[in-house]
A = this chain, B = another copy of it.
């Protein structure tokens, strides 16, 4: 993947929607709704699995997980493209925030603190 991995994906998704005249449906509100629906499908893959099993899914399970994760990702990229923000930069800012809110020396090993995360 090149530097433009997400940029390249955003462009491809834009062409995909344009070629089908689907851009009209892609309001940020609708994209957020489609995204949470796909996140629900991703959750469904794991709903009856034990945590232990989820660490080593079989090949068919992993293929379905990847496909659902990809659907979430595509709507996330499309949303950030429509609203013109940089997903990777936003992700780093959020980690900056979390580093301040959860100083490692304070929360280390504290499951209780974690539950408020």
Interface residues of A (CB under 8 A from B): 1-3, 5-6, 9, 12-13, 16, 19-22, 25, 27-30, 32-52, 54-55, 57, 62, 65-67, 69-74, 76-77, 79-80, 82-83, 85-95, 98-99, 102, 104, 107-109, 111, 114-115, 117
Contact = CB atoms under 8 A, between A and B. Distances in A.
B80 A69 contact: yes
Nearest to A42: B32
A39 B36 CA distance: 5
Contacts of A54: 27-29, 32
27 contacts: A1-B88, A6-B88, A9-B88, A13-B95, A16-B95, A28-B46, A28-B57, A28-B65, A29-B49, A33-B36, A33-B47, A34-B47, A35-B43, A36-B36, A36-B42, A37-B41, A37-B47, A39-B39, A39-B40, A40-B41, A48-B111, A48-B115, A62-B83, A66-B85, A67-B94, A69-B85, A70-B87
